[in-house]
Amino acid sequence: MPKIRSIVSAIALASSISVASAWDALPTKAPAPADNPTTAEKVELGRILYHDPRLSSTGTVSCASCHNTMLGGEDNRPNSMGVHGQTGGRSAPTVWNAAFNEVQFWDGRAASLEEQAAGPVTNPIEMGMKSWDDVVKRLASIDGYPALFNKAFGDNSISKDKATKAIAAYERTLITPNSAYDKYAKGDKKALTAQQIRGLNKVVELGCVSCHSGPAFNGPGSFQKFPVIDNAYLEKQYQLSADKGLFEVTGKSGDEHFFKVPTLRNIALTAPYFHNGSVKTLEKAVKVMARVQLDKKVTDAEVADIVAFLNALTGEFPKQQMPTLPGTLGTSFN
């Protein structure tokens, strides 16, 4: 996996990122790949597919079930629930600002939003479809979808490639700019409170920006080992090392416990925390991160300041309207 390996090698560069580069405002538009330019028609089709539970084997689970765009872009569960009440081993990452991730999923196994969109649909625990051929056949049988694909792509044919491109196009519109922090970064020095500024300075002092840098506070696309510091007490509480992360994709021992650096944007809305959703509060997450990543203890006052700053990363959410799905008149899939 050369893409993944090259990004892992970028970890060494993280510490060289200047603090100044961490204080950029979030862009209001996400770049699209050359083979999937963003259009209004494609976004609309993607919005419909994203919210359609018929992409799951039981007709009960949609992308939005685990990545709720009516709130923080995930489901506030330690482990997300798929078809037949099954739960996986990881907490759903937020879809908000996912367009600014270099890779997708906690273990970075997808290099793009298009590739990510394909995975859960045929995962037996998540959406449970046996194959994308079955998905395409189902969509083609639903009156309304051929016309929507025609509007988006110029013909009535339905395919995995088109469906995932449409979902990805929709997800690239899920951007939350204009947080208090963004206003501060653009020059409004009154946008942050004194406590939030103390928290920002403490984040720099502790070294958090060696990983959480850039406009999305998710680094330069690198992975990071988690946890870095062995701590038996915290390990017993939170089982942070049970999941081997990137190793489960590559099978290479040097990749054990490496994870994609998650965004800090809107983090106040996405509890519980970490890849396994084991930590319930943001305050505790800050304390745990300081110990197992930076080998530092933080006082309650410092934690309060950092949390205040993290709250300043909650942006403005573009209004989301639930779509009316194409109907299946007189027909059930189950």
Query: Token pair for residue 97?
Result: 């600002």
Separation CA 41–CA 169 (nearest Å): 10
Which residue, 2, 12, 10, 14, is CA-closest to 212? 14
Count of CB atoms situated within 10 Å of the CB of 85: 8
The one-character DSSP state at 255 is G
Separation CA 148–CA 168 (nearest Å): 16
Count of CB atoms situated within 10 Å of the CB of 45: 26
Task: Specify the length of the chain in residues.
Answer: 334
- Does residue 225 sit in helix, strand or coil? strand
How far apart, in Å, are the Cα atoms of 225 and each of 56, 70, 259, 260? 33, 31, 6, 9
Separation CA 283–CA 324 (nearest Å): 40
Separation CA 82–CA 66 (nearest Å): 8
Q: What are phi and psi of 328, to 5 degrees?
A: -120, 90
- Does residue 316 sit in helix, strand or coil? coil
The one-character DSSP state at 245 is B
List residues with catalytic annotation.
126
Q: Can you list the alpha helix ranges (DSSP code H) found in 75-213?
A: 113-122, 132-140, 145-153, 160-171, 180-185, 194-206
Query: Token pair for residue 251?
Result: 């099978």
Beta bridge partners of 223: 260
Separation CA 150–CA 258 (nearest Å): 42
